[in-house]
Chains A and B, each alone.
Chain A
Amino acid sequence: MTIKLGVPSKGRLMDKTFDWFGSRGIGLRKAGSEREYAGEVTGLAGVELVLLSAGEIPRELAAGRLHLGVTGSDLVREKVPNWDSLLRDVNGLGFGGADLVIAVPQLWVDVDTLDDLDAAAAAFRRTHGFRLRIATKYHRLVREFLRDNGVADYQLIDSQGATEGTVKNETAEAIADITSTGETLRANGLKVLSDGLIHASQATLFKSRAADWSDDDRAAWARIEEMCGL
């Protein structure tokens, strides 16, 4: 039996994850050509590298088909209900940082807090006859955040990309999206609410509570903990 370690299959997130494990003596790399999604592990026995989309890693961990996985902490919270009963957040890896925030047009000088957003939403609904639209792909996180903070009279509009442009295009009045520097938000005439941070995300190593852990698997995990100083 081997431990299955899921790592994002491309881009900076993959490279940084490889670097992080590599500097701790665990070599991860793609097997064969660049286009293949098979992986190789050196420096440690009993671990198999599985390369897949970062967005699918939370689901695979929750189902127990991966023992370990590296993905954004935002994706785990969005995609896995009761995530902390199924997964353990082992360690933040210190890269891939991004904040999920609520942003509104810079024109809205009257809106700086969630309290303002709620009041503006009430007035907007009276004026326009429909609930204020917030574009996002993080439906669960945004809905729970707004419910916990008592914001009403809004609706979530699904936006899987170019979310910052939805306000200008008048398909939404506000957005909830991931940002690292806020640059794209500002360039699109938006600003972040002062109490609008929903989740500070980073690439994180998760351990599945749902997977089968044989004695050999536990031994391999103990070795990883030791090598990585977890």
Chain B
Amino acid sequence: MIQPDGKAAAWAEAERLTAHFRAAGALPVEADILQPADTLLDLYGEDIRARAYVTTDPLRGEMMLRPDFTVPVVQMHMSSGADPARYTYAGEVFRRQEIDPHRPVEYLQVGYEVFDGQDPAAADAEVFAVISDALSGLPLRAATGDIGILMAAVRGLRTTDARKAALLRHIWRPRRFRALLERFGGRVPAPPTRVALLEAADPMALAGADIGLRGRDEVEARIEALREDAAAAPISAEEVSLIDAILALRETVPMVLSQLRDIAMDLPAVGSAVQMLSRRSDALAARGVAVDTLEFEGSFGRTALEYYDGFVFGLYIDGRPELPPIATGGRYDALTTVLGGGRAVPAVGGVIRPGLVVSLRGGA
């Protein structure tokens, strides 16, 4: 097959990376380009339509050109895989671009995924180190984060379970998360219409005809939930400021660890997540990663596709902030729970874009 130089060079680089991952113990796997749309839509919501190509098949319904390999690889592992397991794959992914016409709509990804619950900190460090080693010699800057710390902090708030669930649901939507936190913290009053509804002698008096699938009982149940929320004390200003402090973290890993240990004095619920970060830092150091200069950002990974729930990382081309990251990855335990129908497997992985590696080396 005749291919433009750039693509041939990217494939050659993909093969080099795949060999690197195989040497690290990964089994090569493949995935279909056409994926059933409903699984991806249920996971990511309607927003995925803006980022993935949707097409239709008369028999199979809506299909998507794979926007990444994670979902098919997890499904393959959950249905047939041994445990523990390591996989690698290489192939095109497809991303719709509605905003920037200069961004590529298809490019190669090479991935390395680890399904191993024995020692999550070691598995996190392994993925980061194996991917970094594959790119050694390139002028890259690493950024890391840990969504698990923010989630642990939210779970540890002294407030209602309903509020915690609402905040956890919006971890990956920073604006809505912020708006909820402000309201639950009493910094922003409840909307006047809600106050009026709860003060009404009969809140259902103004209800229109019973139409639609969302029934009267569901409306009444939500009014009850709103009453409980209105009766609950606001989240304390101290706790809100602790969440703010976690989100504002931006330092090297050792500095962040020291700050988080202070935060854990006031918010003991983050203790085990901080220990996890500490163990990961040790595991990274043991693999030769310079953790003393490794950057950590409290908000890192919150706007990625919605599945990372622990360690997150990105490798960026130094001095080229306009370019997308050359590699990204993270832990996605919750995704395996959703796709596994109740069965969960701790999982962490990452991908490299070989096309960017080639252009960085000046090969294309």
| Known contacts A81-B99, A124-B214, A155-B46; A110 and B208 CB within 8 A of each other | no
Q: Is A122 an interface residue (CB 8 A)?
A: yes
Residue among A127, A131, A191, A194 making CB contact with B45, cutoff 8 Å: A131
Which of under 10, 10 to 19, 20 to 34, or 35 or more describes the interface residues of A? 35 or more
Question: Is B222 a contact of A168 with CB atoms below 8 Å?
Answer: no
Digitize B169-181: 1 where CB-to-A-CB distance is under 8 Å, 0 elsewhere.
Answer: 1100101110100
Interface residues of A in 167-225 (CB under 8 A from B): 167-168, 170, 173, 189, 191, 194
In the assembled complex, which residues on chain B have CB atoms less than 8 Å from the CB atom of A116? 194
Question: Is A156 a contact of B222 with CB atoms below 8 Å?
Answer: no
Question: Is B219 a contact of A167 with CB atoms below 8 Å?
Answer: no
Distance (whole angstroms) from the CB of A210 to the closest CB of chain B: 13
Question: Is B214 a contact of A152 with CB atoms below 8 Å?
Answer: no
| Known contacts A81-B98, A113-B191, A191-B208; A150 and B176 CB within 8 A of each other | yes
Residue among A105, A124, A132, A152 making CB contact with B208, cutoff 8 Å: A105
A125: nearest residue on chain B (CB-CB)?
B42
Q: Mostly helix, strand, loop or mixed at chain B's interface? A: helix
Question: Is B222 a contact of A123 with CB atoms below 8 Å?
Answer: yes
Residue among A112, A120, A152 making CB contact with B193, cutoff 8 Å: A112
Question: Is A109 a contact of B212 with CB atoms below 8 Å?
Answer: no
Interface-located stretch among A5-13, A23-31, A48-56, A141-149: A141-149
Interface residues of B in 29-57 (CB under 8 A from A): 41-42, 45-47, 49-50
Q: Is B76 an interface residue (CB 8 A)?
A: no
In the assembled complex, which residues on chain A have CB atoms less than 8 Å from the CB atom of B1? none
Question: Is B194 a contact of A112 with CB atoms below 8 Å?
Answer: yes
Question: Is A107 a contact of B213 with CB atoms below 8 Å?
Answer: no
Question: Is B45 a contact of A154 with CB atoms below 8 Å?
Answer: yes
Q: Is B204 an interface residue (CB 8 A)?
A: yes
In the assembled complex, which residues on chain A have CB atoms less than 8 Å from the CB atom of B204? 109
| Known contacts A107-B208, A107-B212; A115 and B191 CB within 8 A of each other | yes
Chain B CB within 10 Å — which of A109, A152, A191 has the most? A109
Q: Is A119 an interface residue (CB 8 A)?
A: yes
Q: Is B63 an interface residue (CB 8 A)?
A: no
B45: nearest residue on chain A (CB-CB)?
A152
Q: Is A82 an interface residue (CB 8 A)?
A: yes
In the assembled complex, which residues on chain B have CB atoms less than 8 Å from the CB atom of A140? 50, 98
Question: Is A109 a contact of B206 with CB atoms below 8 Å?
Answer: yes
Question: Is A150 a contact of B209 with CB atoms below 8 Å?
Answer: no
- Bound: A167/B98 CA distance, A: 30
In the assembled complex, which residues on chain A have CB atoms less than 8 Å from the CB atom of B101? 82
In the assembled complex, which residues on chain A have CB atoms less than 8 Å from the CB atom of B203? 109-110
| Known contacts A152-B169, A153-B45; A119 and B222 CB within 8 A of each other | yes
Digitize B340-360: 1 where CB-to-A-CB distance is under 8 Å, 0 elsewhere.
Answer: 000000000000000000000
In the assembled complex, which residues on chain A have CB atoms less than 8 Å from the CB atom of B214? 105, 107-108, 120, 124, 132, 173
- Bound: A156/B54 CA distance, A: 14
Question: Is B207 a contact of A168 with CB atoms below 8 Å?
Answer: no
Q: Is A128 an interface residue (CB 8 A)?
A: yes
Question: Is B207 a contact of A122 with CB atoms below 8 Å?
Answer: no
Chain A CB within 10 Å — which of B46, B166, B203, B208 has the most? B46
A174: nearest residue on chain B (CB-CB)?
B212
Question: Is A107 a contact of B169 with CB atoms below 8 Å?
Answer: no
B193: nearest residue on chain A (CB-CB)?
A112
Digitize B186-224: 1 where CB-to-A-CB distance is under 8 Å, 0 elsewhere.
Answer: 000001011001000001101111111110101101110
Question: Is A131 a contact of B42 with CB atoms below 8 Å?
Answer: yes
Question: Is A107 a contact of B207 with CB atoms below 8 Å?
Answer: yes
- Bound: A123/B221 CA distance, A: 10
- Bound: A161/B193 CA distance, A: 31
- Bound: A108/B212 CA distance, A: 10
Q: Is A118 an interface residue (CB 8 A)?
A: yes
Q: Is B246 an interface residue (CB 8 A)?
A: no
In the assembled complex, which residues on chain A have CB atoms less than 8 Å from the CB atom of B50? 140, 143-144, 147
Question: Is A120 a contact of B191 with CB atoms below 8 Å?
Answer: no
Given contacts A123-B221, A149-B176, 13 further A-B contacts (CB under 8 A): A82-B99, A107-B211, A109-B197, A113-B193, A116-B194, A119-B222, A122-B169, A124-B214, A131-B42, A152-B173, A173-B213, A191-B208, A194-B193
Show the binding face of A for B, using Cβ within 8 Å.
Answer: 81-82, 105-113, 115-116, 118-120, 122-124, 127-128, 131-132, 139-140, 143-144, 146-156, 167-168, 170, 173, 189, 191, 194
Offer 29 A-B interface pairs, CB within 8 angstroms, sorted by A.
A106-B206, A107-B207, A107-B214, A108-B219, A109-B197, A109-B203, A109-B223, A110-B197, A110-B203, A110-B219, A110-B226, A113-B191, A115-B179, A122-B166, A122-B169, A128-B213, A147-B47, A147-B50, A148-B175, A150-B170, A150-B175, A152-B45, A152-B170, A155-B46, A167-B211, A173-B212, A189-B208, A189-B209, A191-B208
